[in-house]
A = this chain, B = another copy of it.
């Protein structure tokens, strides 16, 4: 009499003659208890509940009173074809046990709509709601799809270091990691912190990217990827920034920028197809949720497409590849630029694109995902491959509707002399990156990679608009709860 999950029971073919269906045990949490008769039971395995039908005449009133929202119960009974609407099977309860009560007076998750802010404050319980159950199952599914894609395509997964002694990547402000006494740190003779006394014998920070280390493995194992946490100590209290987020960074030897674009597009389509196929019910729920949310907005601000429609659109259409130079032309001649509706007016080649420009290109002009490439060298990172024109680099950004930048990548500078020159110009220490330079000294080759902020992908696939709602326990300025 092994317990089954709700997902297993709901997919049970009731028409087969199976005696075990007469003796089914299930454990879960009560969502609702209606008419002293119908328990909607959920165990997290699926968004759907199993209806458990209680004949109240056979049970103690005191016991039935304890069947409240959030209570954990164990029921045994017979699985039968459902008499009611909305489900194919239901469980006719023979025995019922309350494992853990849930006081309806104080239980925070009532069977009603809660604000997302309230649920963030109760993030330890929010996956007991339909919305967050669906979001986190999708997050899990996307994670698996990512590993599956790379595994099937000959990539090796590598864990790049979280604590780093290097601050050369320069992607943003870093968190310091230390085990020194913060109140009375050891000092050197000239009054500075004596990091020699710290755990690692030098100043260390939390990583902002695993790319440089991933390059070392690409230049030996060929195709690798990372999937791990990265950090930014930036005081950005927005709905799109986290201090701690997960990033996927593939890196491939002998692959140029065109190959990089192909890889990123193929990868994104694969993982999104995967959830379309494997998370149908969660997506249908979130699709409807988004539709309801959109209805509260003024007509003009509503999204033209539903959630599933939007995902399918990305899967089914080619991403538009546009050079930075072309994009600047389009933007310069665009209505919002001419009418000075942009906060940052595009005046000349070389301007850094703001999110308003990216969204214009994706949402108004091309109306599909866009890959921008060949950016001006001076607005991009030191390691990007300089083009023969001497002023652009083989960088690419993939822009998604509603999200903006989903992927940032580049072909890497493989020429030792060019790389050294660039580092010198930017005052990046050769001594610190000796190992990175070694890759160009010994058997250098064209190679490329990209970074994808995982939470951005989860936002896109779930239709959630606040990044705090797509990671279990968000870390943001002034918040490291749970």
Which A residues contact B (CB, under 8 angstroms)? 3, 5, 7, 27-30, 43-45, 70-72, 74, 99-103, 106-109, 124-125, 127-128, 133, 136-137, 139-140, 143-144, 147, 151, 154, 156-166, 173, 175-180, 182-183, 185, 192-193, 199-202, 204, 206, 213, 216-217, 220-223, 228-229, 231, 233, 235, 243-244, 246, 253-254, 414, 435-436, 438-446, 471-473, 475, 477-482
Contact = CB atoms under 8 A, between A and B. Distances in A.
A282 to B, nearest CB: 11
Given A27-B254, A475-B163, A140 B158 contact: yes
Contacts of A106: 441
A125 B442 contact: yes
B213 A482 contact: yes
Given A72-B444, A217-B136, A176 B178 contact: yes
A43 B255 CA distance: 13
B442 A107 contact: yes
Nearest to A71: B443
Contact of A173 (B128, B137, B159, B179): B179
B439 A124 contact: yes
B222 A99 contact: no
A30 B477 CA distance: 50
Contacts of A473: 160-161, 213
27 contacts: A5-B154, A5-B222, A27-B445, A29-B220, A29-B443, A43-B222, A44-B223, A74-B254, A99-B444, A99-B445, A99-B446, A100-B414, A100-B445, A103-B442, A124-B213, A136-B156, A140-B157, A159-B246, A159-B471, A159-B472, A161-B244, A162-B231, A162-B244, A163-B231, A165-B480, A200-B475, A201-B477
A222 to B, nearest CB: 4
A435 B71 CA distance: 17
Contacts of A175: 163, 177-179, 199
Which of A44, A176, A471, A478 is packed against the most chain B CB atoms within 10 Å?
A44
Which of A107, A159, A479 is packed against the most chain B CB atoms within 10 Å?
A159
Contacts of A124: 213, 216, 435-436, 438-439
Nearest to A185: B182
Contacts of A471: 159
Contacts of A133: 220-221
Contacts of A229: 159, 162, 228-229
B442 A179 contact: no
Contacts of A183: 185, 192-193
Given A99-B443, A163-B206, 14 more contacts: A29-B220, A43-B222, A101-B443, A124-B216, A133-B220, A140-B158, A158-B472, A159-B246, A163-B480, A165-B480, A175-B178, A199-B235, A200-B243, A204-B480
A72 B217 contact: no
Contacts of A481: 165
B161 A475 contact: yes
Contacts of A216: 124-125, 127, 482
Nearest to A142: B157
A70 B438 CA distance: 11
Given A5-B154, A100-B414, A440-B100, A243 B144 contact: no
Contact of A201 (B28, B30, B479): B479
A29 B217 CA distance: 13
Contacts of A438: 124-125
A44 B72 CA distance: 51
Contact of A137 (B100, B103, B221): B221
A161 B472 contact: yes
